[in-house]
């Protein structure tokens, strides 16, 4: 009889530990969900502000980019050639992937 009671007490104790662990994990999960929602909100605000900046200052940004490219072409034409070559290879790879996707569909 004592053995059964001892096993039952051990099982009850283990059950209580598991319940506490479950409760702790649920609280941590809720805390993480709240933190995730907060971070997503911050990220959304950041992305929207960046988009708004570029939409408002599109011309200025493009002018600055053209100026950088012109400066690069004057200072280091080899680097510009390499940059253009890599851009071409990347476009070529994208087109190849799009063609493969169209063929499979």
Global pTM? 0.48
The predicted pLDDT at position 40 comes to 96
Q: How far is CA 34 from CA 21, 41, 56, 68, in A?
A: 20, 11, 33, 43
- 96 and 89 Cβ atoms separated by less than 8 Å: no
In a domain, 62, yes or no: no
User: Do residues 48 and 91 both lie within one domain?
Assistant: no
Query: Can you give the residue range of the structural domain that contains 33?
Result: 1-56
User: Do residues 44 and 22 both lie within one domain?
Assistant: yes
User: Do residues 72 and 43 both lie within one domain?
Assistant: no
Q: What is the pLDDT of residues 25-68, one digit of tens each?
A: 999 999 999 999 999 999 998 888 888 888 899 999 999 999 99
Number of domains into which the chain is organized: 2
The predicted pLDDT at position 26 comes to 98
Q: What whole-number distance in Å separates Cα of residue 40 and Cα of residue 17?
A: 34
User: Do residues 82 and 43 both lie within one domain?
Assistant: no
């Amino acid at each position: 009889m004592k053995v059964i009671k001892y096993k039952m007490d051990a099982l009850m104790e283990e059950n209580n530990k598991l319940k506490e662990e479950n409760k702790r994990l649920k609280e941590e999960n809720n805390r993480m969900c709240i933190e995730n929602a907060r971070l997503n909100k911050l990220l959304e605000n950041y992305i929207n502000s960046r988009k708004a900046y570029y939409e408002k200052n599109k011309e200025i940004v493009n002018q600055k980019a053209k100026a950088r490219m012109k400066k690069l072409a004057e200072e280091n034409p080899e680097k510009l050639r390499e940059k253009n070559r890599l851009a071409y290879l990347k476009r070529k790879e994208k087109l190849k992937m799009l063609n493969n996707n169209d063929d499979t569909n």
